[in-house]
Each structure stands twice: as C-alpha cells, then as structure tokens.
Chains A and B, each alone.
Chain A
Amino acid sequence: MMKRLIIILALVAIALGFFPLAMRISGDSGLTALATHYVEAGAEELGAANLVTSVVVSYRGLDTLGEVMVLFTATTGVTALLVSGKSRSHKKEQESEHDSVGRREGSELLATGAAFLFPILILFGIYIFLNGHLTPGGGFQGGVVLASAFLLLLFSDCRLELNHALLKRAEAISGAAYVAVGLLGLWLAGGFLDPRFLPAGEFGQLFSAGAIPIIYILIGIKVGSELTGIVDAMRRCS
C-alpha cells in the first residue's frame, strides 16, 4: 500500500514537472531560428528535396553515425547474449530436442505468401532508401522493410539457415564505407559527412543531393543486415 502511494506520488511529480513544459508548446510558435535556416537554405546548400533527410544525413550527420553505432552495439549485445553462449554440442542436443517438441512447419498459405512477398518487400525496401532524399523514407525505414522481408521468410520456413558470413560482411562493409564517405567529405568538401563532394545534380531527381543517396544506401544495408541478424539470433535461441 505504502509502495503504491509512493509510486503514485512519483507519477504526480513527473506530471507536475512535465505539464507546464507541455502547455507552453503550441502550433502557433512557428519555426525556431535553426529550423528556419534549414528550410530557407537547406535546399540550396545540399540539393535534397526532403529536408528531414538533409537534417538526418548531413546537418546532424554525426548524430546519425552515433545512432548507427548504438544500433551496432545493441545487435552485438543480442548476438552475444543469445547465440555465442552455447557450445556446439549443446546446440546439437537442443536441435534434436526441438524435433521431439515438434516445431511446426509454416502453413501452405504462409509459405506461398512469403515466397510471393519476399522479392516485393526487398524491392520496396530498396526503393525506400534509394528515394530517401526525394520522398518520405530513408535508410532506417528501408532497412527495417528489408529486415521484415527476411523475418517473413524465417517465419515460413523454420529450418532456413541464413548466410551469417554474408550478413556480417554486408554490415561491416557498409559501416566502414559510411565512415569512409564521411572522411571523403572532410577532405574534399566542408567537413566530416559533408555530402557536397559529389555534384549536386538536378534538384528533385534521383541522382542529386551529392553523396546523400550513397550514405542512405549504406545506412539501409547496415540497418537491414543488423535487424535481420537480431531476428535470426532470436529465432536460433528459441
């Protein structure tokens, strides 16, 4: 009872701290000075039609690199916790155990649906991160769609083994290439992760906005392979 009271008091304290903050926000305040600069000069400076992409990839590019790093660390943690803790012989024992439990095959409907949807989902994911600088979308969203395609495939066939070496390599190469593109920006253009070392191209076209599409492709591959790794690690441990 006492405990519950303390929890309620803590929640009320959080609410009281937060409420005045929230009430001061309204849609009428307009853009901040920083956002105004991004909106006014962003299109001319970077040539990307999608301003959110300009902010994610270029203006706040270092933050994004940090977030990719967090994602990598989380993936490493999941894999370390779930996969490498088991010895091989132990794993084999478990596999036979699984067979006795009888892991059910995916139904006909699921298998056919997955086989039909898998290429479409892969295509859609690639479309999303290729057009990240023109339309709503980008590397993170595209990567998640790619991972969902593999998730569907793993659902439909429980004996499927993904090529882990390929996954690891895709992740490592795209991560290293992301940093390399950032360094190229440092040498050839204004600073780290500056995408303007490539020609800006025609505004609103696929080949535009300097290196932004390249960075988003790399992020898409990295996020896709990492999330596929997480899904696969969770499946292998269960």
Chain B
Amino acid sequence: MTQIVLAIGFLLVCMGFWGLMTRREVFRMIIGFSLLDTGVHVIMVGIGYVRAGTAPIFDEALAVAGAVGKVVDPVPSALVLTAIVIGLAVTALMLSFAIRLHASRGSLAVDDMKELKW
C-alpha cells in the first residue's frame, strides 16, 4: 500500500519536473510546479504511514493507552497540513507574477523574455 502511494507521489514529482523543464510558457510551468508540490505532499503522507494504522485522533475507538502501533505518524501529517496551504499561497503569488508579466508584455512565453538571456 505504501509503495503504491509512494509510486504515485514519485510519478507526480517527475511529471512536475518534466513540466517545469520542457514547457516554454509561464502558466504551464506553474501547473508543473503544482504537480510537483502535490507529489511531495503525497510522498510525505506516505512516509508517515504505519501498516493498519488509523488517524492519530483519540476517541471511543482509540484509547490513549496502547495507541502506539495502531496509529500513523502524526508528524508528517502535521507538516503536510500546513504545506498544502502554503503551496496554495505560493501558487497564487506565482500566478500574480504571471498576470503582471502578461499585462506588461502581452505574452507568457519564456522565449519572449529577452532580458533573462545572456
């Protein structure tokens, strides 16, 4: 099970890198970054998985005593939880850069941005 999740996450990361490196348009590169971001989240959640473990939330079904071995690792889940919102905000920032670029030169293609070349 963990292997499947890791493989999916890994595939997403590779697709994201592929998109970042091959696409010539800023908007598509941002989509590539989002894929990369999602892949990293999937991998991080997958790392924290414990076989047959449940969510680390105590209630009637999960007593505090003897919970070790029955729950998944809470630390990666906590990191991913914040990382998703941060990813959203960073994507929004990149999109607003793209909007400004398009407003100032009417194109989003990297090839049109001559200042970056030497």
A143–B85 Cα distance when bound, in Å, is 10
A50 on the B face (CB < 8 A): yes
Query: Is A39 within 8 A of B74, CB to CB?
Result: yes
Q: Convert A62-82 into 0s and 1s, putting 1 for each residue whose CB lies closer than 8 angstroms to a CB of B.
A: 011001001100110110011
Interface size on A, residues (CB 8 A): 64
Interface residue? A30 (CB, 8 A): yes
Known: A35-B75, A63-B82, A74-B90. A49 touches B59 (CB 8 A): yes
Q: Which residues of A contact B50 (CB under 8 A)?
A: 27, 29-31
Chain A residues near B75 (CB-CB < 8 A): 32, 34-35, 38, 55, 60
* Residue pair A39, B67 in contact (C-beta under 8 Å): yes
Name which residue of chain B comes closest to A26, CB basis: B2
Q: Is A136 an interface residue (CB 8 A)?
A: yes
Assembly CA distance A9 to B74 (angstroms): 36
Does B110 sit within 8 A of A, measured CB to CB? no
Asked whether B81 lies within 8 Å of A14 as measured between CB atoms, the reply is no
Q: How far is the CA of A35 from the CA of B67 in the complex (A)?
A: 11
In the complex, are the beta carbons of A51 and B74 less than 8 A apart?
Answer: yes
Instruction: Tell me whether B82 and A56 are in contact (CB under 8 A).
Output: yes
- Does B59 lie within 8 Å of A204, measured CB to CB? yes
Interface of B is mostly: helix
8 Å CB interface, B36-91 against A: 43, 46-47, 49-53, 55-59, 64, 67-69, 71, 73-75, 77-79, 81-86, 88-90
Render A30-57 as a binary contact track against B, CB cut-off 8 A, 1 for contact. Answer: 1110111011101110000111101110
Determine if A51 and B86 form an interchain contact, defined as CB atoms under 8 angstroms apart.
no
CB distance from B103 to the nearest CB of A (A): 8
When the two chains form their complex, are residues A140 and B85 in contact, meaning their CB atoms are under 8 A apart? yes
Would you give the 0/1 interface string for A9-33, flagging 1 where the beta carbon is closer than 8 Å to chain B?
Answer: 0110011001100100111111110
SS class, residues of chain A in contact with chain B: helix
Verify A40–B68 contact, CB threshold 8 A.
Answer: yes
Nearest-neighbour CB distance to chain B for A11, whole angstroms, equals 6
- B99 to A237, Cβ gap below 8 A? yes
For residue B17, CB closer than 8 A to chain A, the reply is yes
Within 8 Å of chain A (Cβ to Cβ): is B113? no
Query: Are B74 and A27 in contact (CB-based, < 8 A)?
Result: no
In the complex where A60-B78, A82-B96, A204-B58 touch, is A71 in contact with B89 (Cβ < 8 A)? yes
Contact partner of B100 (CB less than 8 A), chosen from A15, A85, A141, A238, is A85
Residue pair B81, A138 in contact (C-beta under 8 Å): yes
Q: Of all chain A residues, which has the CB nearest B63?
A: A43
Alpha-carbon gap, A144 to B83, bound state (A):
13
B92's contact among A49, A140, A230, by CB below 8 Å, is which?
A: A230
**Contact partners of B85 in chain A: CB under 8 A:** 67, 71, 140, 143-144, 223
Say yes or no for A4: interface residue by CB 8 A criterion: yes
- Nearest CB of chain B from residue A23's CB, rounded to whole Å: 8
**Which residues of the partner chain B approach A50 to less than 8 Å between Cβ atoms?**
56-58
| B56 in contact with A81 (CB, 8 Å) | no
Task: Pick the 4 closest A-B CB pairs, nearest first.
Answer: A27-B51, A74-B89, A51-B56, A55-B78
Where the two chains meet, the residues of B that have a C-beta atom closer than 8 Å to any C-beta of A are 1-3, 6-7, 10, 13-14, 17-18, 21-22, 43, 46-47, 49-53, 55-59, 64, 67-69, 71, 73-75, 77-79, 81-86, 88-90, 92-93, 95-97, 99-100
